[in-house]
Structure 1
Amino acid sequence: MRTKNQETLDRILKFVNKYYQEHHSSPTINDVAEGVGVARSTTHRYLQELSDRNLIDYSRG
């Protein structure tokens, strides 16, 4: 399995936190993908990685 790019992980985490502060709700995968400029499938994998590291609470759906 390929390792996750730390810069992309950081960008996604920063986007999720900023989005939550501004909207008082969690972003969708589409919001994150568009906001960070990566594919939805990549976003999903990275959100799962952040969840595995206990940096976000991510549950699909």
Structure 2
Amino acid sequence: MIVQAHLDYIKAGARCITSASYQSSAEGFMKWGISEGDAEGLMCKSIKLCDEMARRYKKGRR
């Protein structure tokens, strides 16, 4: 769902994207009982999803 949202923004003319984690933090996740390692993993996942979208977009433009 996040990857598709990123793709839709780019297709609509956006020239940059964000990782969709702007309101997230490891500290915030940990307040909800998520371990530090898992919290960091979730933050990294948002970057990986952004990267996945960029790869799909580039592949579709070739």
Please, what TM-score do these two structures have when normalized by structure 2? 0.36
Higher Rg: 2
Please, what TM-score do these two structures have when normalized by structure 1? 0.36
Could you say which structure has the greater relative contact order, defined with CA pairs below 8 angstroms and 6 or more residues apart? Answer: 2
